[in-house]
Each structure stands twice: as structure tokens, then as C-alpha cells.
Amino acid sequence: MTPQTRENLRILLLTTLAAARGYAVGIDGLRLGLPAQLRRLDADEITAELAYLIDKGFVAVEAKAISPENREWKITAAGRDFLAMEGLA
């Protein structure tokens, strides 16, 4: 993946989470927000980019009491602010 594609993927993940309006989204839901050429990425590749966004403070893992192995993510205030500053929200 090129650096530009990786940046685009990160922005697409953020915009998909922002579109969920406060609801947590799993891997399958996040894939729906990606263009066809990126939907083929495996869960580990997407999770790695989400880990980067978590480290930046833009995304948080949603705690689940039932089936915690089915992780879900939410955008944070910092993530929404980033999209707004970039004119993407």
C-alpha cells in the first residue's frame, strides 16, 4: 500500500465512523465505507490502521460486555475535530 493510499484509508475509516453518529462500528461495517479496491483488505490490515488512529486519539475501542472478541470502534472528539479542520465533516 502506498503512503497516499494508507492516508486515504485512514480518512475513509474516520469518515465512516463519523457517519455512524456516535454508534460503534465493527470491521464489516467499516468495509462498507471503503471503495471496492480497499474492501479486499483483511481484518488485520484494517485493525492495524485503526490502532494507528487510536494512538493518535482519533478513534476509541468500544467496550462490549457480550462477545468482546467482536470489536467495534467509535470516532472521538479529536477525530471529529480533525475531519472538521480538513473540511471533511
pLDDT in tens, the chain (89 residues): 899 999 999 999 999 999 999 899 999 999 998 999 999 999 999 999 999 999 999 999 998 888 888 899 999 999 999 999 999 97
H or E segment and range at residue 25: none
pTM (2 decimals)? 0.92
Which residue type occupies 34? L
Q: Give the structural domain span for 70.
A: 3-85
Count of structural domains, the chain: 1
**Can you give the CATH number for the domain in which 11 is found?**
1.10.10.10
